[in-house]
Structure 1
Amino acid sequence: MMMQTLPALLVPQKGETVIDYWMSMSPVAPVFGLEWRFSPLFREVMPDMASTPAMAGSVVLTEGDLHDEDLEEAEEEAKAVEAAEADDLTALKGVGPKMAAELNAMGLTSFAQLAQMTEANIAELSENLTAFRDRPVRDDWVGQARALMGQRT
């Protein structure tokens, strides 16, 4: 009985894409919104197991299944960790609140990041600043950041 249905199960369905065909071979096909190709065979061989919720039908994730609260909480935690690691860049000579906000927007939030910058990085940073483009070099932000971190240049 099983051998007669197996060839029929392997024939692609009308309108089925190649990807859907191959994914339907996997027992996890319902997770992707596809019917597992061998579920009729499975129901035939193990009828009592076919009624379990895991095998009863396809599982299709919808946007509502994603928990926005969990995503928001994870984003808040990431921001809190980032804020904890952030230094007050206004401690650098030539960096005021506006400049610090601009540097933070560029992803520069700590003295360690500035201390590790090369001349090429500083040149790129200077080009991307909206005002006072010579400040990173003129005020030696790298040296100041290292000094504030307790490092020697």
Structure 2
Amino acid sequence: MFDFLRDPQWLWWLGAALALGAIEMLTLDFMFLMLAAGALVAMVAAALGLNLTGQFVLFCLSALVLLFFVRPVLRRRLEESTPLAVTNAAALTGRDALVAEPVTELAGTVKLHGEIWSARPQWDGETFAVGERVRIARIDGATARIERLPA
């Protein structure tokens, strides 16, 4: 009844599937996951008594089908469900700041999250007084372009 346990071929496929699964955890690209699933298909074939050539062909076919048909769907769903992380200067756009020194077209600073940034008005001709709350319109290099808060 348990004759398949005496033949270690299925264990090799199980080991390959586990190793490929471990590699997948490092890459997170679904490539090795598809190969691991193919190894599991070959493991079942080995447990059912299919010869080594048949196991290898079944592994290759199932892995190719998974790679070309399942993997793109999984990657697309993952990319659609993962929010885009805004970092660095782009993360500051839209934040509120406090004018630390009067802001004109030539000079000025704002306090943003405890840091002092050089600042210029977003639009020519605007000026901002000390203590005024403003919004960061964009970041140009190390200079914050600021605008008035909506009323």
- Same fold, TM-score > 0.5, yes or no: no
TM (normalized to structure 1)? 0.31
- Higher share in helix: 1
- Higher share in strand: 2
TM (normalized to structure 2)? 0.32
